[in-house]
Amino acid sequence: MTPLTETVLFVFSLVALGYLAGLTGYLKPASGEGISEFAVNVAMPLLLFQTMVKSDFHGVAPSSLWGAYFAAVAITWAAGHLVTTRLFGRDARAGIVGGVSSAYSNVVLLGAPFILGIFGASGFEVLSLLVSVHLPIMMMASIVLFEMFGRGSGETVHPLRVVKSFLRRLFINPLIIGILAGLAWRLTGAPLPDLVERLVDTLADTAGPVALFAMGLSLRRFGISGNIRPALALSVLKLFLMPALVLAFVWLLGLPPLTSKVAVVVAALPSGINSYLIAVQFNTGQALASNQMTLATASAVLTTSFWLTVVVHIFG
């Protein structure tokens, strides 16, 4: 077994262990919520803080990386919307859920530990640059679309309300706080006190395995229900169209090999819980989002291996 294959199996084995813990009743649903909250609100923000403080980011071109990745996001989102509304006859609000499910990679619970395991700290530096804008952009898009399509027919869209909602959600997001706090400390030029550094390192080191285990528990909670054909179609868009587009764009822009590999692999990740939460906000497409997230994650053990093989062959 190659080290690459072993790492992929290790990552998804942790997800499977979390799923089994929920399936057998070994851990209660409330335990899963607590573990997820620790991963997202404590461990992962500290990992991002640690990365912002210690990393140098040499050789990474943020603007080109963002352009390549989010161009693919926009195209895949539009494709998901059209598949949901035109091919399966769902309404516009369900189309938004379909678009989000097709284009919103699980960059936190799955992406962070996966990239760390495959590409190490240098790869996580690239991912951190992507996370720093991924959250605001996807959050803003979701809020704008919710204001446009999630309100009653007699209600109007208020731009000020959109901006206020976006800023409020952005600056209370623990991941954004971790990034901004790390950048602020970096600007001071001062080293972290030994005790603080030890605390940060210890908690940050738990982020990967805890996040993967928590993700498995969450999959058990959502599961599969109803018509799965739209979910299968959206999963194909997420796991094949989006990484293929990112691959084409990073190649055309001539991005560095490591940056290109990380971008393609992140694009190849399955959707996370955010697509389901947006469906809950719209009060439509919950089964669609849940089905798609579960099916894509189950398939990702094979599809991510495929895309890893592709990028290693192309970029070395």
3-class secondary structure per residue, 87-139: HCCCCHHHHHHHHHHHHCECHHHHHHHHHHHHHHHHHHHHHHHHHHHHHHHHH
Contact present, 214 and 109 (Cβ < 8 Å)? yes
Spatial distance between the Cα atoms of 227 and 295, rounded to a whole number of angstroms: 12
Q: How far is CA 194 from the centre of its chain?
A: 32
- CA separation, residue 163 to residues 70, 178, 267, 278 (Å): 21, 22, 27, 18
Spatial distance between the Cα atoms of 213 and 293, rounded to a whole number of angstroms: 16
For residue 40, the model assigns a pLDDT of 84
Q: Answer whether 0.95 is exceeded by the pTM.
A: no
Token pair 């389901």: residue: 276
CATH topology of domain 3-315: Na+/H+ antiporter like fold (1.20.1530)
Spatial distance between the Cα atoms of 314 and 102, rounded to a whole number of angstroms: 25
Spatial distance between the Cα atoms of 58 and 61, rounded to a whole number of angstroms: 9
**pLDDT per residue rounded down to tens, the chain (316 residues):** 677 778 888 888 988 898 899 888 898 877 877 888 898 889 989 988 988 888 776 556 688 999 999 999 999 999 999 999 999 988 888 888 899 899 999 888 888 889 988 999 889 889 988 888 887 888 778 777 766 665 555 556 566 776 776 777 778 888 889 988 998 998 898 889 999 999 999 998 898 888 888 878 877 776 677 778 999 999 999 999 999 999 999 999 999 999 999 999 999 999 877 777 777 766 778 888 888 888 898 898 899 999 999 999 999 8
For residue 34, the model assigns a pLDDT of 85
Spatial distance between the Cα atoms of 67 and 249, rounded to a whole number of angstroms: 8
Token pair 């955010």: residue: 274
DSSP helix/strand/coil, 271: strand
For residue 258, the model assigns a pLDDT of 93
Q: Taking the domains of the chain in order of start, what are their residue ranges?
A: 3-315
Nearest to 54 by CA among 114, 118, 125, 119: 125
Contact present, 266 and 130 (Cβ < 8 Å)? yes
Spatial distance between the Cα atoms of 35 and 106, rounded to a whole number of angstroms: 17
pLDDT in tens, 134-171: 878 887 787 777 666 655 555 565 667 767 767 777 78
- CA separation, residue 191 to residues 49, 54, 198, 267 (Å): 13, 9, 12, 34
Spatial distance between the Cα atoms of 216 and 224, rounded to a whole number of angstroms: 14
pLDDT in tens, 207-228: 888 888 887 887 777 667 777 8
Spatial distance between the Cα atoms of 110 and 196, rounded to a whole number of angstroms: 27
Token pair 């262990």: residue: 17
Spatial distance between the Cα atoms of 251 and 259, rounded to a whole number of angstroms: 11
* Phi, psi angle pair for 2, to nearest 5°: -75, 155
Spatial distance between the Cα atoms of 184 and 170, rounded to a whole number of angstroms: 17
